[in-house]
Amino acid sequence: MVRDSAVQVDRRRSLYKIADGGFYVAVSVRSAKLEDVSALVELRMANAEHHVGLGPSVHRRPDVDVVRGYFESRLRDGQDDLLLVAEVDGEAAGMAEVVLRSAPPDHQILIPRRTAEVHTVVLDRHRGRGVGRALLAAAEQIARDRGVEFLLAVIFAPNEDAVDFYSSAGFGGHGLLLRKGLGAD
């Protein structure tokens, strides 16, 4: 059992006990399976809805059938260790996706280091209960097991909750992404 402030982790069973106002909430984190597709679609669509609310000129609601097809293709051959599901009381409460990045080409100046992005989604009714922390802890372990040296959280700046969440988990600045529109908009 590993303790991280309010998080107790039993890595053998992927069970996270999170302090929630003096009580512990049991969060089970596991690799996604084909049977999870409906829950993953619900999570992705809830995430899209949240982001459209933050920035409708940047985010969209993807077609639900396309989202379903994406998860089905990833999980068709069995579980996917880079796609995680968090359950609370038997309900899918959140998900995390670890996306491995390619090393920079030899002609670029960046030092080649194994890097991945992490994306977490927690349903509104489970936010603030440690589900995200449990997912992030599991995602970090999976990334570490795959030799990842740096984990990146790419966040849309107005998403202050996400900025606060990842910052509280030890993520810090890593450059600056600037954008300039070139379209006729």
Q: How far apart are CA 33 and CA 167, in angstroms?
A: 30
Class of domain 2-168: alpha beta
86-131 residue pLDDT tens: 999 999 999 999 999 998 899 999 889 999 999 999 999 999 888 9
If one compares 129 and 61, the residue with the highest pLDDT of the two is: 61
Statement: residue 13 has pLDDT above 80? no
Query: What string of DSSP letters covers 34-80?
Result: GGGHHHHHHHHHHHHHHHHHH-TTT-----HHHHHHHHHHHHTTS-E
55: left (phi over 0), alpha (psi -120 to 50) or beta: beta
**Domain range list for the chain:** 2-168
pTM: 0.84
